[in-house]
Amino acid sequence: MRAAVDAPVILEGRGLTMRFGGLVAMAEVDFTLRKGEILGIIGPNGAGKSTLLNIVTGLYRPSSGEVRLEGERINGLPAHRIVAKGIARTFQSSRLFGDLSVLDNVVIGRHVHMRCGLLDAILRRGRAEAELREAARRAAELLEAVSRTLYAQRHRPAAELPQADRRRLEIARALASEPKVLLLDEPSSGMDDADTDALMADIRAIRAARPELALMIIEHDMRLVASLPNRVLVLDYGQKLADGLYEEVRLIPRVQEAYLGRKAAQHARP
Amino acid sequence: MSASKLRHPAVAAPRAIALVAAIEAAGALFLRQFLLAEDGRLVVALLALFGAALVTMQRRPALEARIEAAFADQARFATGLGLVLVLLFPFVLEKSTYALHLLVIGQLYAVLALALNFQLGSANIPNFATGASYGIGAYASALLALNWDVSFWLALPAAAIVATIFGFLLGVPSMRTRDSYLALVTIAFGVVIHQLLNNLEFTGGPNGLVGIPAPELFGHSFAAPLVILGHDLPSQANFYYLSAVLVGIAILFARRVHDSRVGLAWNALRADELAARCQGINATWYKVLAFAVDAFLAGFAGTIYAFYVGFISPDNFTFLVSVTIMTMVIAGGMDNTLGVIVGAFLLTLLPEKLRAFSDYRILFFGVTVIAFLMIRPQGLFPQRLRRYGA
């Protein structure tokens, strides 16, 4: 499962720049993501990690530069179209549909795979219901595969779930759209070590079941960054500092400075 | 929600049938007594009874769950018995034209509340223009009938389509705003429609439109008394049955849409719009769609109203009508079909039955909204989680 160096590129960004008024949140960032690869994105707060995710998922339109999914330009498309093209994401602060059941959250994740509109619902009820029931069946299957505990709670409102299960449900909901690329925004934030271990096991299991799936993970937890990603991309002040294997990247002085501060970094150097 | 509520407790079939029958009969009896009550003290006593029933349900979730399970298991029987009760109801009203009139208005408001529920309840779009759509439907059909002799049955769908077009017209610019600003846009739309109706030449200005002919069906005029099997019913009974059919259609609409991809998408937008967009939901389209559905049903209700009273003026369709409809949805229960209908009936009948409320109608609605939002924000009948048969 290691190195996916010769797998084809599935997602790439070229010269991505994001300006909010006079503030440059991201400047000329390039990145590539290959099929089956896990790319970690690290950097201090305000480095532009979330901005990058928001650009890729269509929530922001980059001021310049482009994003290509399997060679097709996707920047400029609205967020809901980008999901249909095969990019799904989770959020740093859990954004579940709290007053709906756990199962419904995953069924909504299958939205792009359902076709029935309002007129179908009213005039062709059988078709609309069959479609929804099929989506519910698949959603239940997915839930069961992702986590037995979630599956057992599938008829509870999502808001009642404990934190670790909420994060799992977000991942399940994102997987329901059967994406080619999955973006995880700080999946371990607010988790203790045991929960983070469970999360890493989950991600590994998801990957094992979907060898083609490419992942981009924004992460602060260095334990996770050290063990999961094939490659890491370091951002600081909206610019790319480094891109490579974790073991190599972490030795780069500028990366250490960005993380630890100049003095501490000098101190840490052998 | 407690675990006991999720598991449907097993209820034996005969007992479930008896329970369903008892509750529906009690509901019908209650409504009859309420409609025919003349004495203010009796009305208050009946209200107290209703309140006590609600408190009991709130205090004893097990009982509520059992009733729910009985209705779920015997859905066919419940629907059938409900239909029979609706059909027979006019016969037990002692030929009171007033009671029938209240029922017609109550049912029209039930349709309006169900229409608004698609927006406010399902998708959390605060639309204060349902009254305007209601007016557009009424005026469109009345103008068709008065100027071109279009029959009621053709004017009905035509007016609904006109109202829907206006719904789209309102929906599209509204999409540039959200929350309170969206509410402001819809309020402005309602005011503009009211002003237009008041000032335009062809809508009759403040005098409105008069002499809208009563509908006819197979030679029977809706203005004539209805004779069924030798029983004479006042002419209002025609419109009672007509609006009952419309309520039935609205319920069917509501349930089918709720149990479809569209209802789910609206619920997702209600919970978290950004997350919904990131699940592939086209937020703009689904919101505009909610505006259109609301206007479509409101247009139907407006047409029946215009042909029922035979005279409409701009003051029938003010901002306050929209506020009333919104109060019904909030009090009845967001995204719960039964709750919204109960809310509509309750808030139609109360001001009519209690003079004290009638004089302070707006104050009463205001207090109702505040009280519900503070004490029971989910409304009388809260929304239910979907179950998918399993």
Neighbours of B274 (CB within 10 A): 12
Domain enclosing residue B113, as ranges: 96-375
Quick check: B113 pLDDT over 90? yes
The DSSP secondary structure of B15-46, one letter per residue, reads HHHHHHHHHHHHHHHHHHHHHH--SHHHHHHH
Task: Return the pLDDT at A74.
Answer: 93
Give domain status of residue B384, yes or no: no
Give the pTM.
0.89
pLDDT at A2: 47
**In this structure, are B130 and B228 located in the same domain?**
yes
When pLDDT is cut at 50, 70 and 90, the band that residue A263 belongs to is low
Mean pLDDT of A134-151: 91
Residue A264: pLDDT band (50, 70, 90) is low
Task: Verify that B180 and B45 share a domain, yes or no.
Answer: no
d(CA B309, CA B301): 12
Chain centre distance of CA A107: 19
Dihedral sign for Cα atoms in the order A97, A103, A106, A108: negative
* pLDDT, tens only, B124-161: 888 999 999 999 999 999 999 999 989 999 999 999 99
Are residues B179 and B127 both part of a single domain? Answer: yes
Taking CA atoms, what residue in B is nearest to A89? B278
Q: Give the A window 72-91 contacts with B, CB below 8 Å.
A: 78-80, 83-84, 88-89, 91
**Statement: residue A189 has pLDDT above 90:** no
B62 in the same domain as B8:
yes
| Residue of B279, B293, B389 lying closest to A83 (CB–CB) | B279
Residue B389 lies in a domain: no
Q: For residues B237 and B110, state if they share a domain.
A: yes
Average pLDDT on A95-103 reads 92
CB contact under 8 A, A88 and B1: no
Contact: B281, A120; criterion CB under 8 Å: no
Pick the CATH number of A9-95+175-268 from 1.10.287.180, 3.40.50.300, 2.40.110.10, 1.10.3720.10: 3.40.50.300
Is residue B293, in this structure, part of any structural domain at all? yes
CATH of the domain at B149: 1.10.3470
Same domain, B268 and B294: yes
Asked whether residue B118 is domain-assigned, the answer is: yes
Place of tokens 């505009």: B288
Cα separation, B118 vs A226, whole angstroms: 49
Classify the C-alpha dihedral B335-A141-A150-A84 as positive or negative: negative
Does ipTM come in above 0.95?
Answer: no
β-pair partners for A32: A12
Between CA B266 and CA B287 the distance in angstroms is: 8
Final residue of a structural domain among B92, B122, B154: B92
Q: Which range (A74-88, B94-108, B342-356) has the least confidence?
A: B342-356
Identify whether residues B284 and B301 lie together within a single domain.
yes
Q: Residues B201, B247: one domain?
A: yes
- Verify that B49 and B132 share a domain, yes or no: no
CB atoms within 10 A of CB A130: 12
| Confidence at residue B159, expressed as pLDDT on a 0 to 100 scale | 94
Please enumerate residues of B whose Cβ is less than 8 A from a Cβ of A.
1, 6, 252-253, 256-257, 259-265, 267-268, 270-272, 274-283, 289, 293, 383, 385-390
B331, B215: one domain: yes
Give the model's pLDDT for residue A246.
Answer: 86
Is B108 inside any structural domain?
yes
pLDDT per residue as tens digits for the range B206-251: 888 988 888 888 878 888 788 887 778 888 888 999 999 999 999 9
